[in-house]
Amino acid sequence: RFSFRPEPDPYCQAKYTFCPTGSPIPVMKGEDVIEVFRLQAPVWEFKYGDLLGHLKIMHDAIGFKSTLTGKNYTMEWYELFQLGNCTFPHLRPEMNAPFWCNQGAACFFEGIDDVHWKENGTLVLVATISGSTFNKMAKWVKQDNETGIYYETWTVQASPGKGAETWFESYDCSKFVLRTYEKLAELGAEFKKIETNYTRIFLYSGEPTYLGNETSIFGPTGNKTLASAIKRFYYPFKPHLSTKEFLWSLLQIFDTVIMHRQFYLFYNFEYWFLPMKFPFIKITYEEIPLPNRHKILPGL
């Protein structure tokens, strides 16, 4: 959590505009009955259709419908500058340190694109709440959005399977949906008993080693050898590659991550070294149940 959201650097430009039709979250009448929908569709469906859906790489959102007005709304959380910028930095010749364009934020707008969510994904009713509960949730969303500002692609674990040590948690669209569901349960919402699955991207490593922050590694008195190693690691991930460059980069990435078992992770403004372990990287689509309604104890 951070105390405020910084202004994006003008260098960071999104290929697709963030939240182009966004609008303020409305204040609902207390007696209104609001339907809550689980929304899920393949990532970048507008560009690749259901291709990423076959790989179970899904984007999550939440839908709302006011029974008083009949209006629908969509709420989601995603990257300001697309996924690649949130996962890897730019290596700018005029800067010593890698430069990150990494923010994620909530987007709220009127309407639910039924075809988008139903065709290759999910649009299903999960709960019903009052207008006053919706208004309390809206206040929480504002606070969550102002303090949880950086997107994190990877979940880093010691190994696959239940009970494994988690070194770093991801912070992405599905985590926002799960946080919102949890808040609604805390406010008294009762969720239906249906299966809900989410995409997670795992890296597997031994215990991470803390390396330092931008100043301690790349500053005037920094560690030049380490700085060079980190920049060398990120170089193959640079954007806008030709097909030939992309294939060569894939070989370099394979050699570093799989053969030499090395990965440099940037997390909350700090760099960590991950000693990678088999199976190295995995995309899962696993069930995370809807929350149970929080019971308030008598007398509290």
> 54, 173, 240, 294: which one is catalytic?
173
Q: Is 84 helix (H, G, I), strand (E, B) or coil?
A: helix
Tokens encoding 130: 């009052």
Sequence letter at residue 154: W
Active site annotation includes 54: no
Q: In sequence order, what are the beta bridge partners of 270?
A: 213, 267
Q: CA 110 to CA 64: how far, in whole Å?
A: 9
Question: Which candidate in 59, 86, 101, 107 is catalytic?
Answer: 59
59 is catalytic: yes
- Residue by residue, DSSP assigns 167-234 as EE--BSHHHHHHHHHHHHHHTT--B-----EEEEEEEEESS-EEEEEHHHHHSTTS-HHHHHHHHHHH
- The span from the CA of 223 to the CA of 168, in Å, is 24
Please name the residues in contact with 24: beta carbons below 8 A apart, sequence gap of 6 or more.
108
Phi and psi, residue 288, nearest 5°? -125, 110
DSSP state of 27: P
How far apart, in whole angstroms, are the C-alpha atoms of residue 290 and residue 194?
Answer: 8
Residue 99 DSSP one-character state: B
Q: Which residues are catalytic?
A: 59, 173
